Amino acid sequence: MEGRLVPRVAVAVFVVRDGEQVLLGRRLSSIGDSSFALPGGHLEFGESWEECAAREVKEETGLDIHRVEFLKVTNNVLRDEVRPAHYVTILMRAVLVDEAQSTPQNLEPEKCEGWDWYKWSDLPKPLFGPLALQVQSGFSPFLCHS
């Protein structure tokens, strides 16, 4: 089987703020290009989900998170992408270590147009497909108790 058709594990993080905002960035990628998605990425060998969440948020935005909690696991078969892919995605929730330092940096500009905070009640479009499915299903990181 071609390498990229093997299911992989990803971690995506709802970094939540003020009880109503989440951090999203517009992807520059062969998967979900131009759509708004959570920070996150591939689980590396030996990592816990919490470690992966903190590493990816730091690498992508420069922000430090804590109180990292598991919320949900999702199965994302992305058949219609330029490069089809299958991810088992672990959804985590976290808050900033320092709420006063909440300005995200765009540290991987080749992968993202930029990060910003969005109200859960007024999310930007288009959302990345797997995230859109969660929203459509009624899932909310603010109503979810781990």
Q: By CB under 6 A, name the binding residues for ligand IPR.
A: 10, 29, 31, 40-42, 56, 76, 87, 89, 111
Q: By CB under 5 A, how many residues form the interface with Mg ion?
A: 1
- CA–CA distance from 141 to each of 23, 90, 108 (Å)? 12, 13, 25
Which amino acid does the sequence have at 106? Answer: N
130 binds Mg ion (CB under 5 A): no
Let me know: does 36 contact 25? Beta carbons within 8 Å: yes
**C-alpha to C-alpha distance for 107 and 118, rounded to whole angstroms:** 19
Closest CA to 97 of 15, 12, 11, 32: 15
Site for Mg ion in 30-59 (CB under 5 A): 41
Residue nearest to ligand IPR (CB): 41
Instruction: Report what 14 binds from Mg ion, ligand IPR, none; CB cut-off 5-8 Å by kind.
Output: none
On the question of a cis peptide bond just before residue 126, with omega within 30 degrees of 0, the verdict is: yes
32 vs 41 by CB, closer to Mg ion? 41
From the CB of 56, what's the least distance to ligand IPR, in Å? 6
CB of residue 21 to ligand IPR, shortest distance in Å: 20
Q: Which of 133, 144 has the CB closer to ligand IPR?
A: 133
Rounded to a whole number of angstroms, the minimum distance from the CB of residue 81 to Mg ion is 15
The torsion angles phi and psi of 59, rounded to 5 degrees, stand at -65, -35
Residues that bind Mg ion (CB under 5 A): 41
